[in-house]
Amino acid sequence: MKKLVGIEALAIAVPRRYVDIEDLARARGVDPAKYTSGLGAREMAVADPGEDSVALAATATAQLLRSNNVDPSRIGMLVVGTETGVDHSKPVASHVQGLLKLPRAMRVFDTQHACYGGTAGIMAATEWIASGAAAGRSAVVVCSDIARYGLNTAGEPTQGAGSVALLISEQPDLLAIDVGLNGSCSMDVYDFWRPLGRREAVVDGHYSIQCYLDALSGAYRGWRERALAHEVVRWGPSLPGDQLSRILYHVPFCKMARKAHTQLRLCDLEDAPNAPASTAEAREEQAKSAASYEAQVASSLGLNARIGNVYTASLYLALAGLLQGEGEKLAGQRIGLMSYGSGCAAEFFSGVVGEKAAKRMAQAGIESVMAGRERVSIAEYERIMNLPYEAPDQIAPAPGAFRLAEIKDHKRRYVEGA
């Protein structure tokens, strides 16, 4: 029997504070509907320097191991996908290993390619297990990031922060990944980047949207070619993309998922063999189908709308949001996942939701993580944004959570909540 590999369990960590996106719009003199309806946002996580990518990654990983009773000796690989690492050399993953006192006998490294870094880690872990090289061991892949464009920028309402930790194993209770069906598309572009030494990203916003859509087209067509060859989908009365129960997208802001879904449908409508002759305008109109978006995409965006962009973790927040709400209903059904990282790289892959998805999601305790947050004013958000990176607020971490306490002699010291 073919080995099943994929995501066994997940856990999330978010900053303790957030702003309401309408408060931000009003403070910036913008019609709140631009942020809520134009971008699809509701709330935005606000991380202070104590909640850096290490602290969030360690908090999510601790929760993953604790709530799923994972024996650390079964972990053979620990990967952190991040584009907001804290050192040019020492990986975030090594901090996580140390803070959680994980065994030495494992591979520990970071993966970086903008928001695609987490997916790169998941594919490395999945294929390592599928190849047999893992010899029965599991991997932990953590996607952890602080999305930061700065005050009064066009990107400001699309910031956010958080972490998603995923256990990858031969017991894919959440999602069995279709190993080998991936489609990839990479291009050398400057759409979004963060030069060395800068805290804020530099972005060519509208061009970045176009790069995302172009890369999606290549990645989706690559996946579809393999999926057709393996008869996972077929050309027929329904389009291949329609044969996936749900499609999750990288979510820099929620409206981007709608644009992405339109583009994916357009790929199918343009390529359909024996399609009735139709104009480009008619295909574009059909691609925008609100019914298709509501049926396949909308239900995955709840957490993204309340947290904001989390770069590498955004796609996996969408997975968490989807399975939290529909894990039971989707058991045994195939979903598609589309990862995008600026620079740029896109990967489309698919998987089948596990029978125990709802039970595993209940263990993740996401509702209590979200309920533990505190709404802050825009003045407080601006104070936090203006804190130097080496001056975290001196707040005791919640039990089981980690925070950066200080940086001394270029070494970072973290504390754990008792």
Q: Are strands 411-416 and 202-203 parallel, antiparallel or unpaired?
A: unpaired
* Calpha distance 396→389 (Å, rounded): 18
Specify the stretch interacting with ligand CAA by CB under 6 A; choose among 207-215, 272-280, 315-323, 373-381.
Answer: 207-215
Using rule CB under 6 A, residue 212 touches ligand CAA: yes
Using rule CB under 6 A, residue 209 touches ligand CAA: yes
Q: How many residues bind ligand CAA (CB under 6 A)?
A: 27
Tell the smallest beta-carbon distance from residue 208 to ligand CAA (Å).
Answer: 4
Question: Would you report the helix, strand and coil content of the chain in percent, each value rounded to 5?
Answer: 40, 25, 35
Q: Which residues inside 264-303 make contact with ligand CAA, applying CB under 6 A?
A: none
Nearest to 128, CA basis, from 95, 150, 99, 106 = 106
Out of 18, 128, 220, 340, name the contact with ligand CAA by CB under 6 A.
340
Using rule CB under 6 A, residue 198 touches ligand CAA: no
Tell the smallest beta-carbon distance from residue 293 to ligand CAA (Å).
Answer: 13
Output 34 or 90, the one with its CB closest to ligand CAA. Answer: 34
Residues 6+ apart with CB under 8 A from 358: 323, 327, 328, 331
What residues are annotated to the active site?
A: 83, 115, 250
Q: Are strands 75-81 and 411-416 parallel, antiparallel or unpaired?
A: unpaired
- Sign of the Cα torsion 166, 168, 173, 175 reads positive
Specify the stretch interacting with ligand CAA by CB under 6 A; choose among 17-25, 150-158, 351-359, 363-371.
Answer: 150-158
Specify the stretch interacting with ligand CAA by CB under 6 A; choose among 10-18, 92-100, 234-242, 247-255.
Answer: 247-255
Give the C-alpha distances (Å, rounded to integers) separating 379 from 28, 56, 113, 299, 385.
Answer: 12, 24, 33, 33, 10
Rounded (5°) CA angle 130-136-140: 75
Q: What is the DSSP letter of 24?
A: H
Out of 26, 28, 34, 373, name the contact with ligand CAA by CB under 6 A.
34
Q: Which residues inside 157-176 make contact with ligand CAA, applying CB under 6 A?
A: 158
Residues 6+ apart with CB under 8 A from 214: 185, 187
Tell the smallest beta-carbon distance from residue 67 to ligand CAA (Å).
Answer: 28
Which residues of the shown chain bind ligand CAA in the complex (CB under 6 A)?
A: 31, 33-34, 37-39, 115, 154-155, 158, 191-192, 203, 205-206, 208-209, 212, 250, 252-253, 255-256, 309, 311, 340, 342
